[in-house]
A and B are shown apart, each in its own frame.
Chain A
Amino acid sequence: MCETCGCGNPGEKAIIRVPGEDLKNQEDNLHGHYHSHPHSHDHHKEFEHDHEHDHPGISRKIVTVETDILLANNLMAERNRGLFEAKNLTVINLMSSPGSGKTTLLERTINELKEKIKFSVIEGDQQTMNDAERIKVTGVPVIQVNTGNGCHLDAEMINRAIKRLAPEDGSFVLIENVGNLVCPSLFDLGETCRVVVMSVTEGEDKPLKYPNMFRSVTLCILNKIDLLPYLDYDVSKAVEFGRRVNPRLQFIELSAKTGEGMGAWYEWLRGRLNGPG
């Protein structure tokens, strides 16, 4: 861990800002971390070994800990959940591999529903404001979380982001997680619902390859179905594989580009207003 400032949690390095905002003017951003972190230790223990050490004259004591490694995140997620409940927010955590069309899905959803439903968006990416800039064009409040080296959003980042975003009571908050089918699945953000987006240009066996993710969600959106005529993709196989790892998994097939199938997604979204469902 960093000796200079005591940092260490990748979550603390996340930069949170709205489009157009200058980094220098942002106190929330915990000093940006431009100093280097040299570690010149050449000794470290092997991962697992079973030899005993004796330390004569020193009293050794075994302390029972029994603490969940994700406890800090889970506690923060519960705080978020309380905040969301108090403000009557419906918070959707959208996850997928990069390039599945999450941002396009959000753009169309917001543009077609914003007259009826209040939205705000939290965008998660390692770098750039690109996605937040795209959402900004729709006119709804958006905030970008740049995780730096982090491969996922965590509950602490969402806690900081939601306070700056200050969404209206009773509104929807759409979280676009970092494009990654592995890491985000483990981190509870306090969300109302988790959704995975899979596109038909990926393999049908994605659920089998990333079962942790597909087990953790309630809905799988199958995007880019306008491309089906040009592909060998077998939708029924994808659904079968998805239900093998998660028998309760719901599927919605749509094209965020052409708008086909979006109605079912909107209906699902409206259904979430009364809780996870």
Chain B
Amino acid sequence: MHELSIVLSIIEIVAMEAKKSGAERVTEVHLEIGQLSGVEFDSLEFALKNFAPGSVIESAEISIEKPGGTARCCNCGYEFSIENFIGSCNLCSSFNLEIIKGRELSVKSITID
């Protein structure tokens, strides 16, 4: 359940940005969490429900962009989409893959009043 830590970090980042911008209220939080980031989305939802009340994101709508995985083969350079780390290159079968998309873990933007 590192998702608890993830949510607390999100709240910290949002609180800092809201303060900097002189926000009265945060109405939306836009996150980008890749499908290979190691975050379990159900656990994240649970953690958000538990930690949002009383925090800066209490009345904010949370939207999450969930980019899928893209790998680049280190052997032949071919780029293709992957669902997990176990795949091999579709062209040359090499397991030597670099993950170039899908590990995102960031607060993209917030909407404030």
Q: Which residues of A contact B (CB under 8 A)?
A: 1, 3, 8-11, 39, 41, 43-45, 47-50, 53, 55, 58-73, 149-152, 154, 182-183, 185-187, 208, 211-212, 215, 243-245, 247
Contact = CB atoms under 8 A, between A and B. Distances in A.
| Top 9 closest pairs, chain A to chain B, by CB | A41-B53, A183-B2, A211-B85, A212-B38, A65-B107, A247-B96, A47-B45, A69-B105, A245-B85
Contacts of B95: 243-244, 247
A1 B11 contact: yes
Interface string B98-112: 000000011111111
B1 A69 contact: no
Interface in B64-113: 64, 84-86, 88, 94-96, 105-113
User: Interface size bucket, B side?
Assistant: 35 or more
A160 B66 CA distance: 35
Majority SS of interface residues in chain B?
mixed
Given A1-B54, A49-B61, A247-B96, A66 B86 contact: no
A45 B112 contact: no
Nearest to A7: B8
B21 A63 contact: yes
A151 B2 contact: yes
Nearest to B20: A63
A47 B5 contact: no
A69 B45 contact: no
Given A63-B17, A212-B38, A73 B9 contact: yes
